[in-house]
């Protein structure tokens, strides 16, 4: 297994590059299944979640070629031979559940494993299932699989209200509804940029969709979609993470440049909270300059659906609060117990208490390096940020969580002045054995 070794405290300077969005790339890949023929998607990050999803797609007979160096995925969906998404792959990544809408839309049937829970608690898919039922699918549950069939081989379309609003369910219903016989309406639809960009791609493929970026999306089903060549957007969560890193570790007065960034996807609530800390932002053509303040002010946040503060940035924000003047609070209203990183951060000296869906964080806390365990994707990057401000050496173990969503993180950070390296280790080796291994 790999670990990241961070020697702090570090100073971030120079430039960092944002990769293509993981959470947009996955639906874009799923969308290609809807069109017989060859589609290409560019600006695809080289990440484990992308290769996992390619494996899920290949089970259906779809050809998926990933060119990591070019950031290009070529998808040949001329022939779909099977309509199954197996447990062995779906359990690794919940977004595999997009195969439900993609296969229903293309073939009128799908057998997709239920994803199960995730590191920070149950994450249901009831809305995805009820939504496709509203569009005319029959759904049976058998041995952990959702078996969905469109009566007469094609969905008829229908209206469905998402409660709560869900990114994944909106995407699945866009996939399912685009080739339905009739019209569909998604109420309380997700307005996240990932959904909007994906919907724009479907439109380029010939789908008739209106209301993207609003809470009501309407779809007029078409007989067939055509393949597409589409450019993915930059990763807004990666951008937000580097902005937080720059506010924490940048030299006050000297901007850190973040290239390939699209500030429009950050959402107003995040930008307002970020600048309220005292950090400043200057937006240029395809880049953002972030300048750290002399003193960070503590700014409490509450996560919410877009354009609210992203739940995927709350763990990182906790580190910012720990270095700010005064105490602050993070409230997660999307996922109520997404705080698995807090006990790990306690090992580094953070003073934070979790009460229900809130964590109260004491500011101006001296952190010290320690061995800490990644528990999920965003939690693990918060441990890296903590390592960057802590004195001494931090080892972030089980870094495979982080590899799901951050492309080349250690190279990007070390290129901007942080002392960070990747090393392999044997999790079951005793400290003596480990010393012998590295000798
Ligand atoms: C996506 C993102 C994830 C992010 C999350 C919230 C991807 C691949 N993942 O996840 O990084 O943290 O949005 O911004 O894009 N819900 C239900 N029933 C359902 C579906 C969802 O009750 O059938 C609830 C969830 O428990 C949660 C809320 O809806 O409280 C929002 O979840 P959702 O937007 O669906 O998250 P994902 O699409 O899984």
**Residue 438's pLDDT is what?**
44
Which domains does the chain show, CATH number per domain?
Answer: 2-19+234-438 (3.65.10.10), 22-231 (3.65.10.10)
Confidence (pLDDT) at 117: 58
Q: Could you tell me the CA-to-CA distances from 280 to 247, 292, 307, 351, 382 in Å, in that order?
A: 9, 7, 20, 26, 21
Give the atom of ligand 1 at the shortest distance from the alpha carbon of 377: 11
* 368 neighbors 390 (Cβ within 8 angstroms): yes
User: How far does the centroid of ligand 1 lie from the alpha carbon of residue 393, in Å?
Assistant: 35
Looking at residue 427, what is its pLDDT? Answer: 83
Tokens 């940020």 sit on residue: 385
Nearest Cα residue to atom 33 of ligand 1: 166
Per-run averaged pLDDT (10 residues), the chain, 439 residues:
96 97 97 98 96 97 97 98 96 94 98 77 85 97 95 96 97 98 98 98 98 98 98 97 98 96 93 98 96 98 97 98 98 93 97 97 98 92 98 96 93 98 88 53
User: Which residues share a beta bridge with 121?
Assistant: 118
Question: Ligand 1: which residue has its CA nearest to atom 3?
Answer: 312
118 in active site: yes
- Residue 408 Cα, ligand 1 centroid: separation in angstroms? 25
**CA distances, 125 to each of 114, 117, 314, 394 (Å):** 8, 10, 23, 37
Can you give the pLDDT at residue 431? 65
8 A C-beta contact, residue 320 and residue 365: no
Kindly report the number of other CB atoms within 10 A of residue 426's CB atom. Answer: 10
CA distance 337 to 271: 24
The pLDDT of residue 92: 87
DSSP class of residue 251? Answer: P
| pLDDT value of residue 120 | 55
Residue given tokens 């969308």 in the structure block: 31
Cβ atoms of 279 and 354 closer than 8 Å: no
- Which residue's CA is the closest to the ligand 1 atom numbered 31? 166
Strand-by-strand arrangement of the 352-355 sheet? 301-302, 328-331, 358-361, 352-355
Shortest-distance atom of ligand 1 to CA 334: 30
């Amino acid at each position: 297994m790999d670990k990241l070794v961070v020697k702090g405290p570090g100073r971030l300077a120079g430039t960092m590059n944002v990769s293509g969005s993981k959470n947009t790339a996955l639906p874009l890949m799923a969308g290609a299944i809807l069109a017989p023929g060859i589609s290409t998607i560019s600006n695809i990050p080289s990440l484990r979640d992308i290769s996992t999803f390619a494996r899920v797609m290949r089970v259906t007979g779809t050809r998926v070629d990933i060119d990591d160096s070019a950031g290009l995925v070529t998808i040949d969906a001329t022939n779909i031979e099977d309509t199954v998404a197996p447990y062995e792959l779906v359990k690794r990544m919940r977004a595999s559940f997009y195969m439900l809408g993609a296969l229903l839309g293309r073939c009128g049937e799908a057998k997709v494993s239920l994803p199960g829970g995730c590191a920070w608690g149950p994450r249901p898919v009831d809305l995805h299932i009820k939504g496709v039922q509203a569009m005319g699918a029959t759904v049976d549950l058998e041995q952990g699989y959702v078996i969905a069939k469109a009566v007469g081989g094609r969905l008829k379309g229908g209206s469905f209200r998402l409660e709560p609003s869900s990114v994944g369910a909106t995407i699945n219903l866009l996939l399912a509804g685009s080739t339905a016989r009739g019209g569909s309406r998604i109420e309380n639809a997700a307005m996240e940029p990932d959904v909007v960009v994906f919907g724009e791609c479907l439109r380029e493929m010939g789908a008739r969709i209106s209301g993207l970026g609003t809470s009501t999306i309407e779809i007029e089903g078409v007989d067939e979609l055509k393949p597409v060549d589409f450019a993915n957007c930059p990763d807004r969560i990666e951008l937000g993470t580097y902005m937080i890193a720059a506010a924490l570790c940048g030299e006050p007065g000297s901007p850190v440049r973040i290239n390939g960034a699209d500030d429009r996807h950050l959402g107003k609530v995040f930008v307002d909270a970020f600048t309220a800390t005292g950090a400043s932002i200057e937006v240029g053509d395809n880049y953002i300059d972030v300048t750290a303040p002399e003193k960070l002010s503590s700014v409490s946040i509450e996560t919410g659906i877009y354009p609210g503060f992203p739940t995927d940035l709350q763990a990182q924000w906790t580190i910012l609060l720990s270095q700010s003047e005064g105490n602050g609070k993070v409230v997660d209203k999307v996922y109520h117990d997404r705080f698995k990183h807090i006990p790990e951060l306690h090992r580094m000296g953070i003073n934070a208490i979790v009460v229900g869906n809130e964590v109260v964080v004491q500011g101006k806390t001296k952190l010290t390096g320690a061995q800490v365990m990644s528990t999920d994707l965003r939690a693990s990057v918060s441990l890296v940020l903590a390592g960057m401000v802590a004195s001494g050496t931090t080892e972030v173990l089980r870094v495979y969580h982080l590899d799901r969503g951050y492309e080349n993180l250690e190279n990007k950070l070390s290129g901007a002045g942080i002392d960070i390296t990747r090393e392999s280790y044997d999790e079951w080796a005793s400290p003596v054995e480990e010393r012998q291994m590295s000798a």
